[in-house]
Structure 1
Amino acid sequence: MSETEREAMEYDVVIVGAGPAGLSAAIRLKQLDADCNVVVLEKGSEVGAHILSGAVLDPVGLDTLIPDWKAKGAPLNVPVVEDNFYMLGEAGQVRIPNFPMPPLMNNHGNYIVSMGNVCRWMAEQAEELGVEIFPGMSCSELVFDESGGIKGVVAGEFGKNPDGSKGDSYEPGMELHGKYVFLSEGVRGSLSKQVIAKYNLSDGHEPQKYGLGMKEIWEIDPAKHREGSVTHTMGWPLNANAGGGSFIYHLENNQVYVGFVVHLNYKNPYLFPYMEFQRFKHHPMVADLLEGGKRVAYGARAISEGGYQSMPKMVAPGVALLGCSVGMVNVPRIKGNHNAMLSGIAAAEAAIAAIAEGRSGDELTVYETEVRSGKIGADLKKVRNVKPLWSKYGLTASLVMGGLDMWTNTLGFSLFGTIGHGKSDAEATEEAAKHTVIDYPKPDGKLSFDRLTNVAFSFTNHEESQPAHLTLKDADVPVKSNLPTYAGPSARYCPAGVYEFVQEEGKDTRFVINFQNCVHCKTCDIKDPAQNIVWTTPQGGDGPNYPNM
């Protein structure tokens, strides 16, 4: 806890993050007790500004939270009308039939949505119930009580100089205290990471696994647009270099979401996830769809992929982790928003019951029990082996074994039990000497684009006079260790061009951090082989400003 003196405000529940989990919790708290004093703190400039998801939404969470969501104008306007699965080769594709796939893979009843817009609508519902929502408020510190439990957060600190000292316009922010604190920061949140480490919440669980998801919005030729169409692909261009695949979702207004996911447990440090995405768009099937269209937005974020066996303990004294702070993505379905909403509902119900009993600052064990044994646990347990099978045996074998395992799990048993993940994604990176450089074609400026050009379409902005929110544990590691051993992978794994190794004539190589470019994906915090890069939150309102993502 810092020595800076701050004013404090008291609430029943303090929620960090206005994503689907945090907003669901806020709404459910007020539904159960109109007098419950709830605040939601969001680091983005507005609700939805930092929300990026595929997204095909399973409405089960929304059905539970707001059953009349359709009458209330929720922006779920495009029901899925067709599902397509393809295995790609460099010049063609093979359609994978739908009939052998487990029922859980069917998107009937789901909707193609902008989760940013869904969250904006949910924020309106929360505010109508009396929830206080403060966007542009980064939460930079945890506040502890005398017993070591968490009683609040520090939010709204502004005006630090680049060296971390207090500038002339320094504002210390406020402490917001709650009987309970909910952390719904999304993947690899800075406060959640601290809580997991402090209370050893990952002990006894598999390491969390991640993917990097990159997404563009395209406006395409109306003659090629098929509203409600959902397409997923695997294979080329990744092939054996990495796990992952693509999604193409046709939403309204002749727009298409084009996305690409690369699993971050790849071995070859020369792999360039962003360029794999750009190369993918030159596949004949994709190029034909996009030809004559234009890209209107870009963004990226990490995805938690560890699933059931990687979920850490979710509660500690005074605090609960929600949604992607835990990792609740169903990997084969490429869906986690429904589970995030259900987790918010469960946390709210546990907190209201505890407060009614006169409790505060303890562990909401009922919440964790509900997550693991209720709808979320059932959803994730059925698919728990798909990701480790893919990692261990490759794409083709995992399609067969993973599909079989999902089928048997629908009947209540698994042929494989529960398979572990083993290494973290950082540990999976191998030395450059074991691999060859991958030659990527230069972007053509029509279908494919360089990183900095695309980052401009994320509408990212950071105040340059603040301290860099990307810090190094050891400033010597990038040049002295990561560059000679791993060929400087940070220059490639970042989808926003934040990291550079600069060689000037007659001078030593410098490691440059262009934090202004950061789209808050957290990949660097995950994939760095030395775990030397630490992502922290910048001042409130900074970062991407995603439209319609």
Structure 2
Amino acid sequence: MSDRESMPYDVVIVGAGPAGLSAAIRLKQIAAYHEADISVCVLEKGSEVGAHILSGAVIDPQSLDELLPDWRTDGCPLAEVPVTQNLHWVLTKTGRKTLPHLWTPPFLHNKGTYTGSLGNLCRWLAGKAEELGVEIFPGFAAAEILFNDDGSVKGVATGDMGVARDGTRKGDYQPGLELHAKYTFFSEGCRGHLSKELMRIFDLRRECDPQVYGLGVKELWDIDPALHEPGKVIHTQGWPLSEHGANGGGWIYHQAGGQVSIGFVTWLNYTNPYVSPFQEMQKWKTHPQVAALLKGGKRVSYGARAISDGGLQSIPKLVFPGGALIGDSAGFLNVPRIKGTHTAMKSGMLAAEAAVDAILKQRSGDELTAYPEAFETSWVKKELSIVRNVVPLVKKFGDLLGSGLAGITMWAEYLGLKMPFTLHHHPDHETLWRKDLVRKIDYPKPDGVLTFDRLSSVFLSNTNHEEDQPVHLTLKDPDVPVEYDLPMYDEPAQRYCPAGVYEIVGEETGDPKFVINAQNCVHCKTCDIKDPTQNINWVVPEGGGGPNYPNM
């Protein structure tokens, strides 16, 4: 018999990101309209709301306008910096060309958008949710899905606290808490470990493409005030990934307080196992245009996070008995726009509207079919449909030709000429070539001024895990890294991880061992995605562990 206590709610939401908090707020708004009492709880694995939130971010306020129309005058931090300039650079090693606005559809121009910290926006949304009576529990990681006797989702249980690495209970042991709900929303972000399990149990991906991903590596810099232009937004493509036949690109956002958000996304379908997304980002900063902006500046924060790039054709079935997937757990990112906050928020709102209707009609525990039905007729579906072929075209034909073809299809779709085809995706973990078929990449050493190593970067993320706890990066077969991945791919986990978690030691003495430095993990999920044998399984560590991003 379980020694865990339980708490009942009408709706439990796993994850205090933009989707989860928007769902919580909408649940309470509609309940108030109907003069109903609907209890809502939000679990957040970070030490506080926003601690694990990372985005560029340029945000379309469409969903925020729907949810909280007075946000611009109500203290919302996002209102500080509207976007004033929008540029797109195509980089070569030493030069750049600016893509004319006339070549791109209007929805790519960032008119009416804002740039700032998504973490701070979530902190503000959490305050609004709590004002409405939502209970938010930061530092509590949902570790287990609970089921009713009929197989429907009953809720979740938080992880036990005070468990030693060997599985024994320490002196401060506390059992997890069960949270039971009529409906449970999973808003874990990209590659959520419980969401992944739900997709397997309920076969939610049987009618969609596999999800594909990118890894975003971000830094915040204080720069020379003379170079700071609040609201200026720049996106780049081309160099340095073009040197390896890989895809992705960078961003430069001039935000509040004299800071710029800079970052680089590497699509995880790359083929060369020697590619290091972290080092590609560092190399990108040495481009003359980027280096000139950062000269004399200071790096103040660092983080990394995978993003769901599959778009419309990779969205799984959104509901199952007793719950729903919302936000980036399902994958609503609009890749060409480099925006997913507004679509994630709207998905949470749609799910909330379906749940309130079901609860008021006492249909608890069934499938919230009204949620996917509402998605089918929403502006989110229309927006994602217009750009559905962009990522596959660029992957198939490369940056130059692929981007040109993608531009043509976006213009056609925008003007009402629907393309009679939808291109498909292939899993990222299947794309690596053997190490003997590729050129090894020699990345330059960091200078400690403009470019940095991974360990000093992780320090800036304020990442911390209790050292004596079970390792949350688990291996299905502990022999695979050395016996298969090392001879085949030179163990790519050493390079695709942006936090220095994985390393091979003892290779020079003929006794290689695979070492997992789990304390460094910034919860980006790249290992769970890109590992070629899918041998690494990311599960939640003890609640409150991981990065503590102050302003990301």
Distance 1:505 1:397 in 2: 44
Secondary structure of 2:52's partner?
Answer: coil
State how far apart, in whole Å, the 2-side matches of 1:128 and 1:238 are.
Answer: 46
Task: Please say if residues 50 and 546 of structure 1, whose CA atoms lie closer than 8 Å, have aligned partners that are also in contact.
Answer: yes
- The 5 A counterparts of 1:152-171 are 152-171=155-174
Equivalent position of 1:395 in the other structure: 399
Aligned residue identity for 1:251:
Q
- In structure 2, the partner of 1:386 is 390
Distance 1:411 1:247 in 2: 28
CA distance in structure 1 between the aligned counterparts of 2:444 and 2:73, rounded to whole angstroms: 49
**Residues of 2 paired with 1:368 and 1:6: CA distance?**
34
Residue 72 of structure 1 corresponds to 74
Q: Is the contact between residue 22 and residue 345 of structure 2 (CA under 8 Å) also seen in structure 1?
A: yes
Question: Does the CA-based 8 Å contact 1:305-1:327 persist in structure 2?
Answer: yes
Aligned residue in 1 for 2:432:
429
For the Cα contact (< 8 Å) 1:269–1:487, is it kept in 2? Answer: yes
Secondary structure of the 2:307 match is strand
What are structure 2's unaligned runs of at least 5 residues?
none
Q: Is the 8 A contact 1:138 1:157 kept in 2?
A: no
SS at match of 1:124: helix
Report the equivalent of 1:251. Answer: 255
Residue 328 (structure 1) aligns with? 332
* 1:530 aligned onto 2:541: no
Aligned to 2:6: 8
The 5 Å alignment of 1:46-445 reads 46-76=48-78, 77-239=80-242, 240-415=244-419, 417-421=421-425, 423-445=426-448
AA in 2 matched with 1:9: M
Q: Is the CA contact 1:30–1:131 (under 8 Å) kept in the aligned structure 2?
A: yes
Moved more, 408-417 or 233-242: 408-417
Shift of 1:128: 0.4
**TM-score, normalised with respect to structure 1:** 0.98
Task: Report the count of equivalent residues.
Answer: 546
Q: Deviations over 1:373-401 (max 9, x none)?
A: 31111111100000000111111112111
Match of 1:20 in 2: 18
SS across alignment from 2:394 = helix
Contact 2:146/2:155 (8 A) holds in 1: yes
State how far apart, in whole Å, the 2-side matches of 1:476 and 1:4 are: 34
Q: In 2, distance between residues paired with 1:49 and 1:224? A: 29
- Tell me the amino acid that sits aligned with residue 516 of structure 2: I
Q: 1:41 pairs with 40, 43, 55, which one? A: 43
Distance across 2 between alignment mates of 1:219 and 1:144: 49
**Cα drift, residue 156 of structure 1:** 4.8
TM-score for the superposition, normalised by structure 2: 0.98
Q: Secondary structure at the match of 2:221?
A: strand
- Tell me if structure 1 keeps the 8 A contact 2:116–2:256: no
| In 2, Cα distance between equivalents of 1:504 and 1:277 | 28
1:477 Cα deviation from its structure 2 partner: 0.2
CA distance in structure 1 between the partners assigned to 2:212 and 2:484 by the alignment: 24
**Which amino acid in 2 is paired with 1:8?**
S
Per-residue CA shift, 1:141-182, capped at 9, x if unaligned?
011000011011001520111122333322111100000000
CA distance in structure 2 between the aligned counterparts of 1:518 and 1:255, rounded to whole angstroms: 26
- Aligned equivalents of 2:509, 2:249: Cα separation in 1: 43
Shift of 1:507: 5.7
Residue pair 1:23, 1:122 contacting (<8 A) in 2 also: yes
Unmatched 5+ stretches in structure 1: none
* CA distance in structure 2 between the partners assigned to 1:213 and 1:482 by the alignment: 24
Taking the aligned partners of 2:390 and 2:507, their CA distance within structure 1 comes to 46
Amino acid at match of 1:6: R
Deviation at 1:505, TM superposition (A): 6.3
What is the distance in 2 between the residues matched to 1:412 and 1:164?
59
Structure 2 counterpart SS, 1:181: strand
Whole-Å separation in 1 of the counterparts to 2:66 and 2:195? 26
Give the secondary structure class of the aligned counterpart of 2:77: coil
Alignment match of 2:486 (pick from 476, 483, 486): 483
- After superposition, the C-alpha distances for 1:183-232 in whole angstroms (9 at most, x for unaligned) are 00000011101000100100011110000001000000001111100000
Q: Does the CA-based 8 Å contact 1:405-1:416 persist in structure 2?
A: no
Describe the superposition over 1:34-81 as per-residue Cα deviations: whole angstroms up to 9, x where unpaired. Answer: 411000000000000000001000000100100111121111210000
1:451 matched to 2:454? yes
Contact 2:245 2:398 in 1 (8 A): no
Identity %: 57
1:244 Cα shift? 0.2
Give the aligned residue type for 1:51: I
**Mapped partners of 2:47, 2:181: distance in 1:** 24
Cα separation, 1, equivalents of 2:31 and 2:361 = 14
Deviations 1:291-315, CA, capped at 9 Å, x for gaps: 0000000000000000000000011
1:18–1:507 Cα change, 3 Å: same
Secondary structure of the 1:253 match is: helix
Aligned equivalents of 1:180, 1:407: Cα separation in 2: 40
Aligned partner of residue 394 in structure 1, secondary structure: helix
Q: Is the 8 A contact 1:503 1:509 kept in 2?
A: yes
Amino acid at match of 1:50: H
Contact 2:166 2:470 (C-alpha < 8 Å) held by counterparts: yes
Distance 1:487 1:70 in 2: 51
What amino acid maps onto 1:71 in structure 2? Answer: T
Contact 1:4 1:172 in 2 (8 A): no
